[in-house]
Amino acid sequence: MAALNIVLYEPEIPANTGNIGRTCVATGTRLHLIEPLGFRLNEKEIRRAGMDYWKDLDVTTYINYQDFLDKNPGAKIYMATTKAPNVYTEVSYEPDCYIMFGKESAGIPEEILVNHQDTAIRIPMIGDIRSLNLGNSVAVVLYEALRQNNFENMNLEGHLKKFKWE
């Protein structure tokens, strides 16, 4: 079974990474963390944001971006950045693609982006807003990729405990 992949390049805020980890568990998505991290993975903020889901997370860490590339040869990588020419809904996400997000304070470095201009994507915003929160950005793009892949293996219907929908 193919699984989407979220890549965080040098994340700085533990609560963001914890929330993203919880989203990954809920969607069957793999999480990849490229060091250096702005926190330790055993910090209380990660556990609080990820709740009791962190133990179920498929997470891999890499010592740097080159280590990530070496261990994932041929990976199709979409780069989420405010500098992108493409809106995130204008591309077709493969079932096993990688979607990379940069660190909260600076995004993905331009020396990386220049090699991925054709797969750089952006979330539209108005005015001079610098960016959305990292956890929100991941959720927006990830759920579009999941939608395009028909929410494979996900629960598509909820049920009330006491009542039935009419």
Residue 57 lies in a domain: yes
105 is in an annotated binding site: no
102 is in an annotated binding site: yes
Residue 161 lies in a domain: no
Residue 162 lies in a domain: no
The answer to whether 10 touches 105, Cβ cutoff 8 Å, is no
The answer to whether 50 touches 19, Cβ cutoff 8 Å, is yes
Residue 157 lies in a domain: no
Residue 20 lies in a domain: yes
Q: pTM score, two decimals?
A: 0.90
Q: Residue 100: give the domain boundaries.
A: 5-148
User: Domains in the chain: how many in total?
Assistant: 1
CATH of residue 87: 3.40.1280.10
Q: pLDDT tens across 105-150, in order?
A: 999 999 999 999 999 999 999 988 888 999 999 999 999 999 999 8
Q: Give the C-alpha separation, 33 to 94, whole Å.
A: 20
